[in-house]
Amino acid sequence: MPLRTLSPELAKKAEDEVNEDPQRIEKDLQTIKEWIAKQPHLSARTDDQWLIGFLRGCKYSLEKTKQKLDMFYTVRTAVPELCLPRDPKDPIVQEILSLGTCVPLPKTVKPDDPRVILVRPGLNDPNKINIMDIMAVNQMISYIQLLEDDQSVIAGQLVLLDFSKTKMGHLTQMTPSVVKKMVICGQESMPFREKGSHHIHTLPGIETIFNLFKLFMNEKSRSRIHIHNEDMEALYKFIPKEILPTEYGGAAGPIQDMIDHWKKEVEDHRDWFLEDKNFMSDEKKRIGKPKTAETIFGIEGSFRQLTVD
């Protein structure tokens, strides 16, 4: 299938910010496909729309694109509970989708602004649903964006985290091991251009979790963390009210409509997700040293020696 045609605004941003040259796209895609074919350990998607998301996210650096693709499929083998797609009909997946723990907002002020992703980590019962289940479903939504949302890929993403319903039971699931897996899977394997994170309605003790995340984040990501607590006016300076759900003082409509939309999107992609589960790495076939969960996420030393407050 031919690649989607970009809007004029996104086409210009792609040229200015991610080094996209329409005359070079076909050649670059072919180079990546030939590279994948030569990797005995990789079983990867090779459709153009999927691969161009990685090229754009890596600003058309072929070497970075290869590294990102390799890591994307390698972490599926290393931590399938986090990175491998689930069946949208799975009852746990259905419950998480209905909660709306991760909701990409439909509107932006300008057509080439970053996509805002609303994340609400405290909606689930922590005694019933584990944080890894939540993150796995959130990943599935990200896969749809990578495949279909050119604005997210080219303009990047802003994350809005609302901790208003978060309890201590949610925080205790955020162990150093879990946090490191979450950061590396997002930072090293996904090709989105992260434009920062904004945190509201935080609770006592959350600073320790923030500092734990910072241990594994790169400097650019650390510098883009904004904590607004209850100061919604400060938030609106970064994320205008007009694009936020009604519940956040915005004008974009009720959040339930957005939840229903994304639940249907995931369900409509069921065949794609079931097929996508077959794409991963076989480390026994990798040329050179195999990559395992221990080599990717292994933590040198002991966390007892780390200061996170």
Each residue's pLDDT tens digit, 19-35 = 999 999 999 999 999 99
| 289 vs 222: which has the higher pLDDT | 289
- Mean pLDDT of the chain, nearest integer: 91
pLDDT tens digits, 103-116: 999 999 999 999 99
Please check the confidence at residue 207 and state whether its pLDDT lies above 80: no
How far from 164 is each of 100, 123, 127, 128, CA to CA, in Å? 14, 9, 18, 19
Question: Average pLDDT in the 186-206 region?
Answer: 88
The vertex-193 CA angle with 253 and 77, nearest 5°, equals 105
pLDDT in the model for residue 1: 66
Lowest mean pLDDT among 45-49, 123-127, 178-182: 178-182
Gap between the Cα atoms of 144 and 239, Å rounded: 23
Banded model confidence at residue 210, pLDDT cuts 50, 70, 90: low
Please check the confidence at residue 186 and state whether its pLDDT lies above 60: yes
The domain segmentation of the chain, as residue ranges, is 8-78, 88-268
Question: Average pLDDT in the 34-46 region?
Answer: 97
Question: Average pLDDT in the 81-106 region?
Answer: 96
Question: Average pLDDT in the 256-266 region?
Answer: 98
**1.10.3720.10, 3.40.525.10, 3.30.9.10, 3.65.10.10: CATH of 88-268:** 3.40.525.10
Lowest mean pLDDT among 42-51, 80-89, 172-181: 172-181
pLDDT in the model for residue 303: 39
pLDDT in the model for residue 205: 67
pLDDT in the model for residue 300: 41
pLDDT tens digits, 151-175: 999 999 999 999 998 888 888 888 8
pLDDT in the model for residue 212: 66
